[in-house]
Amino acid sequence: MWIDIAYAQGAQGGGGGSMLFQFAPLLIIMVIFYFLLIRPQQKQRKELQQMLDNVKEGDRIVTRGGLEARVDKVEPDRGTLRIEVGNGLKLRVRKDYVDQVVNN
């Protein structure tokens, strides 16, 4: 019986500040996660989108599959590029598949 009373008294007192201390490590981890992972990815995605928007005819590109080609025509309404691989062979690829622009 004395144990039940002591337990009930302990459950009532000191509950206001302890909740903050319980969530503080979680909040700190979330802030670190944001600055180390999410924010750099957003910056990289923004730079990639800017690079894709600036692709023009004559640029040399490398696709995600490793195909090196020269941009023959930009088709903005379709979101594609017509590329020349070599010997007059022309292919159409989506802009999303361009990995990098290599201007020599």
Q: In the sheet where 80-86 sits, what is the strand order? A: 89-94, 80-86, 68-75, 60-63, 98-101
72 close to 90: Cβ distance less than 8 angstroms: yes
**Angle of CA points 94, 46, 102, to nearest 5°:** 55
Please indicate, yes or no, whether the overall pTM of this predicted structure exceeds 0.75. Answer: no
For every one of its 104 residues, what pLDDT tens digit does the chain have, with 9 covering 90 and above?
Answer: 556 665 655 555 555 568 878 888 999 999 999 999 999 999 999 999 999 999 999 999 999 999 999 999 999 899 999 999 989 899 999 999 999 999 75
